[in-house]
Structure 1
Amino acid sequence: MKRELGISIYPDHSDPQVDRTYIEKAAKLGYSRIFMSMLEVTEGKEKVSEKFGNIIHFAKGLGFETILDIAPSIFDDLGISYDDLSFFAELGAEGIRLDEGFDGNKEAMLSYNPEGLAIELNMSNNVAYLDNILSYEANEPFIYGCHNFYPQEGSALPYDFFISCSERFKGHGIKTAAFVTSHAAQYGPWDVNDGLPTLEMHRHLPIDLQTRHLFATGLIDTVIIGNAYASDEELERVAAVDRYKVSLGIEFVPAATEIERKIVADKKHFRRGDITSMAVRSTMVRVKYKDIENPVHDNTEEFQIGDVVVGNDEFGKYKNELQIVLEPHRDSRKNLVGKIPSEELIMLDFLKPWTKFQFVPKN
C-alpha cells in the first residue's frame, strides 16, 4: 500500500485564510491527507456546513483526501442520521472517523453507505473490535484505521502496545494512520496541548525522526501531523522523509574523508543477509570503491553502539566496507566516520537481514 503524509485542520479554532495557506504549503510538498476534527461542533447545521464545506472543497481541489473525526453526539446536534451520511459527502469529505464505536454490525452496515465514504476506526485499543466488525461482512476496502493522538504529557501509547494494536489492523490489510507532533504548533482540539503524538516516546523527538520511526515499523501507511500549525521547516523535513526505506541520522566526525562521506551517501546500502551481532555490514560499497584509498584516522578508541565505521587502507579486501556498530569493540582497521545521534538509536531495531537503508547527514 502506498504511504502518504497528512496534516490536521481545526476549523472551530482557526482562521480559514490561515488554514488555506497551510493547506497550500502542504500540497506543494506532497501531503495528501487531512484529518479534520468535528468533535467540538457547537453551531447549527447551516453554519457548520458552510465552515467545513468551504475548507474541505478548497483542499479537495489541491488533491487532499479529508477524513472527518466525529462523535455520536454530532448526529443529534446536526439533526442527521447514521442511515444517511450524505451530509458529510456534500461537505466534500472522503470519510468519517468514528471516535467511539458501536456493536460491529453497525460499523459494517455503515461501510456500505451509497456515498462511498470510508469508515475509519479507532486503532488505539488492543481488543477484537476490528475482527467483530469484519465478522459482519464489512465492506473492507472502505474500512480504514487511525490511531488516537494524546495532548496530555505522559498519556500517549507505549511502543509495545502500539505495535500490538497496529498489527491487528495491518494483518487484515486495512489502511492505517498514526500521528506525529509538531513542536512549533500551538493548538489541537482541546485546551491542553503538550503535543499531539500517538506514541509517548515521540513527544519530544524531532518530527522527521517520529515520521521515519512510524514508517519503519511497516505498520503505518499514513503519518499525520496532529497539531496545527507545523512550521515551514517541519513541513519540509517531514516531506523529505523517504517513506519506504529505513533512514538514520548521522553526525560526521571532523576527520571524515571525502570518500567516506561519499560511501555514507550511497543510496544502495543494505544489511547483509548472513548477519552478525557485532555490526550491520553494508558490503557492496567496498566493491564499488575498492580502488580508492582511505587513510587511517580515528581508529584507536573503542567503537560504541551507533558508531558508523568504514574499513581503512589496512583492512585488505574489506577496505571501504561500511558498518554500523551494534556491540562495542576495537579494530584499528576501521575508521570512525560518524555517530548516529542517541535519540535515533531506536532505528537500529529495524535493520533486519537484507533491509535497505540510508543516512541523513546532520552536519
Structure 2
Amino acid sequence: MGQIGISLYPEQTTVAKATAYLEMAHQLGYRRLFTSLLQLSGEKGRDQLAIFKAVVAKATQLGFKTIVDIAPPLFSELEIDYHDLSFFHELGVWGLRLDEGFTGQEEALMTHNQYGLKIEINMSAGTNYVDAIMPFGPRLDNLLGCHNFYPQQYTGLGDERFVAYSQKFRHYGIRTAAFVTAPSADHGPWPISEGLPTLESDRDRAIASQVHHLRLTEVIDDVLIGNAMASEADLHAAALAFFCPYPALRVHPTAAISELETKIAFSEAHLYRGDASDYLVRDTQPRIRYAGQAIPAHDATGTLHRGDVVVVNETYARYAGELQIVLRELANDGRRNKIGQLTDSDLDLLPLLKPWRTFMLKHVKS
C-alpha cells in the first residue's frame, strides 16, 4: 500500500509551527514529508539550513519519510558530489528528488549510494528520462518517481497526459507519487496562492475528490498535499479518502431516500458489473442481498441525467434493489428511484470507473 504525505517549507515557518503540523498529520496517518532545498540558495539559505535540519529531525522522530527537492545547480552551490551523498544522509532525509535531471548515468549511480537514500525523479517532463536511466542498471528499490505540482493556474497536467507519463514508470515497477492541493493551506514554496496540484482538473476540486481521482487512475502509489499548513479538516478528509478501502464517489442524497436505500448506497462497496452498458453503471449484488424487501416507488418519473444515482424499485421485481449510476440521459419509466446525484467535483470522475472494479459511494450534505 502507498503512503499519504504533507509538505513543509521550513524557510516560511517556525520550528514550533512545523512540529505542531507534523504531529497533527502523524495522528491522521500521514507518513511522507516533501520539502525543498531549492529556496535555500545563497547566504540566507545557509542560515536557514539549521531550521531545515530541526524540522527534518522532528519528522524523522515521528516516523516520516522525508524527500527533499533539489536541482543539479544546487549540487555545485552546496559543493555536493553525486558520488558522495553524505550531505543528505547527515540531513536525516529518506531521499532526494531531482527537480531537474542529469544524464541518466548519474541518477543510476546515485541509487547505489551507501546510505540507502531514495532517488526520486521527475515524472512530469514527458520525455524518455526514465528510459535513459535504465541502461545504467539503477537499483530499482531506491528509484522513485514523483510528479510536479503547478502553482500557476491553467498550467497543471491534463488527465490523459498524466496517465500516459505515469504508465512509463509503472512499466518499470517504480513507486510513484503525485500532488493534491488543500484549499485551506496558506502557502507553498513560491509567493503564489493558486493551489499546488499535479492535475489542472484537481485545482478547484474538493480535496477528498482529488485523492479519489488519483486512486481511480490506478497509476499513483503515494499522494502528497503540495501546499503547507492545511487545516485539520482538510488533512482528515484527505486521509479518509486515501485509507478508504476502495476509491469513492461522493453523492448528494435526495430528501426522500429511504433507510434501506441509504444502506444499499452507502454501507458497502459496489462492484461495477462487467457486461457494461453505455447508459448505466450497475451493481447487481444488492438485489440479491436485499431480495424480498420492500422498495416502494418514489422520485421515479421524469428524466434521469448523467450522475444520478438510482435504486431499482419493487415494480421491476426481478431487478429490485439494484444500484445504478446514470451515464447517459434516459427517461424514467417509474421503475427507478432517484436517491441522489454525484457531486459536481465527482461527476467528472465517472469515466474513471471501470467494469469489474470495486468502488464506494460516500454521503455528503447538499
The aligned counterpart of 1:68 is 68
Partners in 2 of 1:11 and 1:233 — Cα distance? 22
The aligned counterpart of 1:246 is 247
| Deviation >6 Å, runs of 4+ | none
The aligned counterpart of 1:17 is 16
* Cα distance, 1:47 vs structure 2: 4.3
SS at match of 2:315: helix
* Cα distance, 1:343 vs structure 2: 2.6
Partners in 2 of 1:46 and 1:157 — Cα distance? 33
The aligned counterpart of 2:295 is 294
Q: Which amino acid aligns with 1:360?
A: K
Tell me if the contact between 1:183 and 1:230 (Cα under 8 Å) persists in the aligned partners.
yes
Query: 1:41 and 2:40 equivalent?
Result: yes
* Cα distance, 1:312 vs structure 2: 1.0
Gaps of 5+ in 2: none
Partners in 1 of 2:168 and 2:80 — Cα distance? 32
Partners in 1 of 2:247 and 2:84 — Cα distance? 43
Partners in 2 of 1:39 and 1:135 — Cα distance? 29
The aligned counterpart of 2:4 is 5
SS at match of 1:314: coil
Partners in 2 of 1:242 and 1:322 — Cα distance? 24
SS at match of 2:305: coil
- CA 1:242/1:55 → structure 2, altered by over 3 Å: closer, same or farther? closer
SS at match of 1:251: strand
Match of 1:356 among 342, 355, 358: 358
The aligned counterpart of 1:337 is 339
Mean Cα displacement is larger for which, 342-351 or 283-292? 342-351
Partners in 2 of 1:202 and 1:359 — Cα distance? 19
Q: Which amino acid aligns with 1:254?
A: A
Q: Please list, as runs of the form range in 1=range in 2, the aligned pairs for 1:304-343 lying within 5 A after superposition.
A: 304-330=305-331, 331-343=333-345
Partners in 1 of 2:25 and 2:121 — Cα distance? 25
Partners in 2 of 1:48 and 1:237 — Cα distance? 32
Q: Which amino acid aligns with 1:319?
A: A
Identity, in percent, stands at 41
SS at match of 2:241: coil
The aligned counterpart of 2:114 is 114
The aligned counterpart of 2:144 is 144
Mean Cα displacement is larger for which, 297-306 or 327-336? 327-336
SS at match of 2:38: coil
* Cα distance, 1:353 vs structure 2: 1.6
- CA 1:332/1:242 → structure 2, altered by over 3 Å: closer, same or farther? farther
- Normalised by the length of structure 2, the TM-score is 0.96
* Cα distance, 1:44 vs structure 2: 7.3
SS at match of 1:176: strand
Gaps of 5+ in 1: none
Q: Which amino acid aligns with 1:276?
A: S
* Cα distance, 1:193 vs structure 2: 2.4
Question: What is the count of residue pairs matched by the alignment?
Answer: 362
